[in-house]
Structure 1
Amino acid sequence: MKKLILSLTVLLSATPAVAVQTYDIGNRTCSQVQAIVQRDGVAQLRYNSKSNPSVPIYKRYVAGSTYCGSRSIANLATVPTRDNAACRVKICKRFGDR
């Protein structure tokens, strides 16, 4: 049993860590932003707040529910892009959250 636990620990620690890339989407089109999220699976998107443009907003967006935790699901959300004030993307939302 100890050998199994040690083997699993070594195996799991050998897997490469995947960094989430951050993208500034202020000058990108909606289709470019959607393509980024689909390609990467998970992406942190940066854009300026509508109410205070000097405040940057950073949020994590996903291609689908497989990129969310076990108690979360991908829900539709929107981000502002160069050509669309409400570009549709997905964000993880915990079950029961509104």
Structure 2
Amino acid sequence: MRTLNSVSEFQTEAANAVFTKQQAISATLQLLTKEWNDPGNTPEEKSVLENAIQRAEFRYIDATKSETDRMLDAIGVARFTTQDIVNAIQAIVFDAE
């Protein structure tokens, strides 16, 4: 798989950002879609990215399911880093390959 340029740009531009769960999910899906729309994709890359979009689940960003986790989500605490999102995208794409 090629370098994911949109993800690299996001990692640079949002280096110190922190996201809520909803924002992290949205950013992940938007970045995968942006990569899928890249006109430089080969048919194989486009297929992998399409599969990645279909496989994207929040467990790639946060697998914690404790009461504290639910409380933090319920009150909208921003606690997911840019690196959490980038790592999740890399794992999703790896699994999609």
TM-score (ref. length: structure 2): 0.26
Rg (Cα) greater in structure: 1
TM-score (ref. length: structure 1): 0.26
**Higher helix proportion, which one?**
2
Identify the structure with bigger relative contact order (alpha carbons < 8 Å, sequence gap 6+). 2
**Higher strand proportion, which one?**
1
